Amino acid sequence: MKKKIIVIGGGFAGVQFVKKIDEKQFDVLLIDKINHHQFQPLFYQVATSQLEPASISFPLRNIFKYKKNLQIRLTEVLSIHPEKNCIETTIGSFEYDFLVIAIGCKTNFFGNEEISKHALTLKTTYDAIQIRNHILQTFENIISADDKDKEALLNLCIVGAGPTGVELAGAFAEIKNHILPKDYPGIDFSRFNIKLIEGSPNTLNSMSVLAKHASREYLEKMGVQIITDTFVKKYDGTILELSNGSILQSKTLIWAAGVIGNTLQGLPPEVMSAGNRIKVNRQNIVEGMQNIFAIGDIAMMETPKYPKGHPQLANVAINQAKNVAVNLKRIAQGKPVKDFEYNDLGSMATIGRNKAVVDLPFYKFKGYFAWLIWMFLHLMLILSVRNKLIIFINWAWAYLTKDTSLRLILRQRNSK
């Protein structure tokens, strides 16, 4: 009789695990709150009207339409009961032989509730659509606003200069310089400010010296104002208070300053580490458990190469998922399991047209070639051939024309 696996989460780790698990050995139940896989690296392009949400969103039932051993349930997990080998959800309870937790992370506001109420985030496709709506509506508001109200509308602030913040800032700078002046000829775009606020000394602070310097140089040449060694202390939706004593007016604050793990009720407190990550051993088995695994961003695995845990990257999640799928098959066959070892293939970020930085283990570079590498690798990660083609055509059109036709404000009629 087949063993039953429950997978919580349809992100990079969850999807890859379901793809790789042996259909002959296991039945799988995949649980998620949404019905699609989201390609997070390109959220910023949806937020800046460069791609449609459907281009980077993949219905789970379509991804796995040929998987005969899989069931999918759209629900929220309320708690897990390790002693009973079951989970509680909003639609009932489900039993398992093995549980795989792949619930990922959410935006970290570092305990500042006021900022969380007013800031925009970029962790879901819906967030990206909200940012797009907000930005486009802001320009509609600028046209008719009184002069005393325009300053707050003309300041766009992004907090966090990691890859997400840098890519957002670069994309907004490009549409400010090339696209929006054609749509809104009545607005003086020399007064529109894009401010990137970072608590560390550099943009892309976790990457190489070349990447730090090049990304800052690119952004400043594009007109982005960079404020480093500075934290946001307060934000009420209009007034922004910084740790250096500065006060800014802004109706737009996008928070890209960190992540914290999503939580599940039922796990003992001692298995939780900093950032709400779940402590696991070298096979991704949760500490103190025998049949519960955690993979991807939520997993905290200490190794000699990564004593503080692995970076929260898609490539780590994908490779952990593959290793757990192989190990479960080996367990079913009575064979020894394999430890997980991550080989860092490098990191990259794009700043805009012909501008990117790439850090490989053996070589660091920037510019046009880095930008081509960034585009190629992201296209290869897109799940379907159809979506690869759609994205490539959108990119090619935008490159040739310096324009897109995706600037739609989509919301309910009674929305404010």
Which tens digit of pLDDT belongs to each residue from 198-235?
999 999 999 999 999 999 999 999 999 999 999 999 99
Residue 412 lies in a domain: no
Q: Is 224 a domain residue? A: yes
- Rounded Cα distance, 18 and 393, in Å: 30
Distance from C-alpha of 310 to C-alpha of 271, rounded to nearest angstrom? 17
Amino acid 147: pLDDT: 84
Q: Is 384 domain-assigned?
A: no
* Single-letter amino acid, residue 181: P
**Buried b / exposed e along 309-321 (16+ C-beta atoms within 10 A):** bbebbbbbbbbbb
Distances, alpha carbon 220 to alpha carbons 143, 216, 223, in Å: 27, 6, 5
Domain that holds residue 281: 3-107+259-332
Contact 154, 142 (CB under 8 A): yes
Task: Specify if 266 maps to a domain.
Answer: yes
Q: Is residue 367 part of a domain?
A: no
Distance CA 299, CA 310 (A): 8
* Same domain as 7, residue 68: yes
The verdict on 168 and 225 lying in the same domain is yes
Any domain includes 39: yes
User: Pick from 257, 283, 313: which residue ends a domain?
Assistant: 257
* pLDDT tens column, 341-350: 998 888 999 9
Looking at the fold, whether 243 and 268 belong to one and the same domain comes out as: no
Same domain, 133 and 185: yes
210 lies in some domain = yes
Q: Which of 257, 278, 294 is the last residue of a domain?
A: 257
DSSP secondary structure string for all residues of 129-191? HHHHHHHHHHHHHHHH--HHHHHHHTEEEEE--SHHHHHHHHHHHHHHHHTHHHH-TTS-GGG
The answer on 266 and 179 residing in a single domain is no
The continuous run of DSSP H or E covering 114 comes out as: helix 113-118
Within this chain, do residues 121 and 81 fall inside the same structural domain, yes or no? Answer: no
245 token code pair: 């004593």
CA angle 300, 305, 308 (to 5 degrees): 35
The radius of gyration of the chain from alpha carbons, rounded to an integer in Å, stands at 22
166 and 89 housed in the same domain: no
pLDDT 10s per residue in the chain (416 long)? 889 999 999 999 999 999 999 999 999 999 999 999 999 999 999 999 889 999 999 999 999 999 999 999 999 999 999 999 999 999 999 999 999 999 999 999 988 999 999 999 999 999 999 999 999 999 999 998 888 889 999 999 999 999 999 999 999 999 999 888 888 888 899 999 999 999 999 999 999 999 999 999 999 999 999 999 999 999 999 999 999 999 999 999 999 998 999 999 999 999 999 899 999 999 999 999 999 999 999 999 999 999 999 999 999 999 999 999 999 999 999 999 999 999 888 899 999 999 999 999 899 999 999 999 999 999 998 988 889 999 999 888 888 877 776 677 777 665 44
- Our count of domains for the chain comes to 2
Q: Which of 257, 286, 302 is the last residue of a domain?
A: 257
Task: Give the C-alpha separation, 65 to 189, whole Å.
Answer: 48
pLDDT at 407: 75
Count other Cβ atoms within 10 Å, centred on residue 54: 13
Asked whether residue 131 is domain-assigned, the answer is: yes
Q: Which amino acid is at 238?
A: T
pLDDT of residue 413: 63
Question: CA–CA distance from 118 to each of 141, 236, 256, 295 (Å)?
Answer: 18, 6, 14, 31
> Is residue 241 located within the same domain as residue 277?
no
Query: Containing H/E element for 390?
Result: helix 385-401
162-188 pLDDT per residue, tens: 999 999 999 999 999 988 888 888 889
Nearest by Cα to 61 from 71, 52, 69: 71
Please give the model's pTM, rounded to 2 decimal places.
0.92
Strands 193-197 and 155-159: parallel
Residue 355 vs residues 31, 45, 107, 207: alpha-carbon distances, Å: 39, 15, 27, 16
Beta bridge partners of 106: 260
Q: Are residue 253 and residue 144 in the same domain, yes or no?
A: yes
The residues with which 196 forms a beta bridge, in sequence order, are 158, 226
Asked if 293 contacts 98 with a C-beta cutoff of 8 angstroms, the reply is yes
User: Which class for 67: exposed (0-12), middle (13-18), buried (19 or more C-beta within 10 A)?
Assistant: middle
Q: Residue count of the chain, please give it.
A: 416
Task: Looking at the structure, tell me whether residues 127 and 219 fall in a common domain.
Answer: yes
Considering the domain architecture, whether residues 184 and 145 belong to the same structural domain is answered as yes
Q: Are 338 and 285 in contact (CB under 8 A)?
A: no
Please tell me the distance from the alpha carbon of residue 211 to that of residue 205, in angstroms, as a whole number: 9
| Dihedral sign from CA coordinates of 52, 55, 57, 60 | positive
> Looking at residue 66, which CATH number applies to its domain?
3.50.50.60
Helix/strand/coil percent split, the chain, to 5: 35, 25, 40
Residues 213 and 311 in one domain: no
Identify the CA nearest to 286 among candidates 102, 25, 107, 17: 102
